[in-house]
């Protein structure tokens, strides 16, 4: 049984792949990739806390290259997008918060099932610093 948003998310991913391929071959994309090499990277930072060290991941602009998405990665992207789309539901008092928690937990399990151990570790590091979708993009860009 498909979740209510899965068809919409499938179409969004397909359109994103097509748009990304067109953009990556344009002049602005070439300029972006040159600027990316020049701009500095933000290093990994360790924050001491009473509960231990907290590390932030190294941050740099990701390369703008044509992407190819296999079925396993597509499932991971769909789960990450659904997790991010569940957050606005939590703004609705009582019922929205419950629905958002159910959606987030369901898709978090699908996300864990679709990633390898190394990918999951990388994803969890990047998920601390931003939305799930961006963490997933960074995960597959780093591997």
* Max avg pLDDT among 34-43, 63-72, 104-113: 104-113
> Per-residue confidence at 51, pLDDT binned at 50, 70, 90?
confident
Mean predicted confidence (pLDDT) in 71-81: 89
Q: Give the model confidence (pLDDT) of 84-106 as tens digits.
A: 988 898 898 888 889 899 989 99
Task: Find, among 67, 64, 42, 65, the residue nearest to 55 by Cα.
Answer: 42
> Half-sphere exposure of residue 86, counting CA atoms within 13 Å on the CB side?
24
pLDDT for 26 beyond 80: no
List Cα–Cα distances, 69 to 52, 124, 130, 136, in angstroms: 37, 20, 22, 12
Predicted pLDDT at 33: 73
From CA 112, how far away is CA 138, in angstroms rounded? 16
Mean predicted confidence (pLDDT) in 15-20: 67
Which two three-digit tokens encode residue 58? 């190294």
> Per-residue confidence at 47, pLDDT binned at 50, 70, 90?
confident
Query: For the chain, percent helix, then strand, then coil, each to nearest 5?
Result: 65, 10, 25
pLDDT for 115 beyond 90: yes
> Per-residue confidence at 109, pLDDT binned at 50, 70, 90?
very high
Mean predicted confidence (pLDDT) in 56-63: 74
pLDDT for 1 beyond 60: no
């Amino acid at each position: 049984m498909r979740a209510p948003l899965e068809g919409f998310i499938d179409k969004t991913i397909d359109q994103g792949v097509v748009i990304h391929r067109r953009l990556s071959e344009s002049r602005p994309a070439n300029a972006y990739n040159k600027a990316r090499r020049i701009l500095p990277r933000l290093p990994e930072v360790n924050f001491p806390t009473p509960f231990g060290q907290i590390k932030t991941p190294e941050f740099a602009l990701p390369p703008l290259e044509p992407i190819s998405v296999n079925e396993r990665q597509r499932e991971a992207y769909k789960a990450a997008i659904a997790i991010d789309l569940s957050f606005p539901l939590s703004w609705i008092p009582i019922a929205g918060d419950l629905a958002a928690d159910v959606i987030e937990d369901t898709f978090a399990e699908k996300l864990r099932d679709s990633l390898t151990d190394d990918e999951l570790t990388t994803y969890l590091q990047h998920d601390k610093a931003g939305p799930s979708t961006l963490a997933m993009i960074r995960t597959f860009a780093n591997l």
